[in-house]
Chain A
């Protein structure tokens, strides 16, 4: 389990317009690239220092590649990060206001309290 790394993916992609588009269009290529090149960047270091140990487990990688926000919720990814990035990728296809946001909630309807733990 690497909830932190799932969150790091969602966080760093969400704030970069080019990565948002790349994740929308080519999720497998993009997730593979990100895990190899970006997962270990220490975000608070301006000199490009890196960690050595961060990687997704298979379920996490596949959930990201599949754009499977239901599975990400189940895995304990931070719901705010997931929602924000997925709105950025898919709200544009709305045919009426909040259409994507409502459908996103409906797909999670089978979850009852307590929700999956998001503590990292």
Chain B
């Protein structure tokens, strides 16, 4: 059976690419520290030596639209083009082409359907920065095949937070049951407190530093009990109007498992958001 060699959760800040590649006067003052933290984070994936990446993210109204909106969708294709015109325009993100691990996609779909998740699928999926940001930060060579999994954190009505956790737990089991010798890393990105298009956007910190502090503690310690007790679809409006992206972190807590302490925890207090990076090694820290 396949082995899960790393579970990784992080924020996906679309400005990292531009900040980290900027030079001279264009380079923002926080770029050096940010880059140092990302290189340390990248090393946590590199040392796990994965063959395949399962990538959890959320389409930002690129390919998935309100006339036909899935709650959870799995890509099943041999290739995925990546990044969109408006991400090029606003964030300077490059166009990318990623390989797909189609047999694992088929396995996730079949086993997910049988486990009670009526997963949608796509045979032609252009992925966006929720998946390419962690490729850029963690595996900039973009050389490993992926299985993209999209969640709806964006267009209400949304699934309940507990459903995200359950899906994470189920993905973990499904991947562990994949009849393959390959080494799989499961990577998901979301947000801590975040406001987009509202009065609290683009402040000197994230809109709710206290929520961020507690959220980092929940994730780092695998404290699903308190997280699920305090987080509801309604409560997530309070830290910021785009904070429902935190449910992708909850999904990744489900993958890591209740009570699982992260082996790598790091944060960076930036304007606009708190960045956060977590890695778990289910089979122990690689030598």
Segment of B35-43, B143-151, B236-244 in the binding face: B236-244
- A4-B66, A15-B86 are known contacts. Are A83 and B201 too (CB-CB below 8 A)? yes
- In the assembled complex, which residues on chain B have CB atoms less than 8 Å from the CB atom of A73? 197-198
A88, closest chain B residue (CB): B89
- In the assembled complex, which residues on chain B have CB atoms less than 8 Å from the CB atom of A110? 199
- In the assembled complex, which residues on chain A have CB atoms less than 8 Å from the CB atom of B156? 118-120
Q: Is A66 an interface residue (CB 8 A)?
A: no
B62, closest chain A residue (CB): A15
A103–chain B nearest beta-carbon distance, Å: 10
What 1/0 flags go to A101-120 for Cβ under 8 Å of B?
Answer: 11011101111011100111
- In the assembled complex, which residues on chain B have CB atoms less than 8 Å from the CB atom of A82? 197
- In the assembled complex, which residues on chain B have CB atoms less than 8 Å from the CB atom of A44? 65, 67-68
- In the assembled complex, which residues on chain A have CB atoms less than 8 Å from the CB atom of B205? none
Residue numbers of B with Cβ under 8 A of A are 60-62, 65-68, 84-86, 89-90, 154-157, 195-203, 237-238, 241-242, 271
A87–chain B nearest beta-carbon distance, Å: 6
Majority DSSP secondary structure for residues of B touching A:
loop
The residue among B60, B66, B67, B198 with the most chain A CB atoms within 10 A of its own CB is: B198
- In the assembled complex, which residues on chain A have CB atoms less than 8 Å from the CB atom of B237? 113-115
Please tell me if the beta carbons of B86 and A14 are within 8 angstroms of each other in the complex.
yes
Please tell me if the beta carbons of A120 and B197 are within 8 angstroms of each other in the complex.
no
Please tell me if the beta carbons of A101 and B201 are within 8 angstroms of each other in the complex.
yes
Q: Please, how many angstroms separate the alpha-carbon atoms of A84 and B76 in the complex?
A: 29
What 1/0 flags go to A2-46 for Cβ under 8 Å of B?
Answer: 001001100100110100000000000000000000000011100
- In the assembled complex, which residues on chain B have CB atoms less than 8 Å from the CB atom of A111? 198-199
Q: Please, how many angstroms separate the alpha-carbon atoms of A4 and B154 in the complex?
A: 14
- In the assembled complex, which residues on chain B have CB atoms less than 8 Å from the CB atom of A114? 237
Q: Please, how many angstroms separate the alpha-carbon atoms of A98 and B242 in the complex?
A: 19
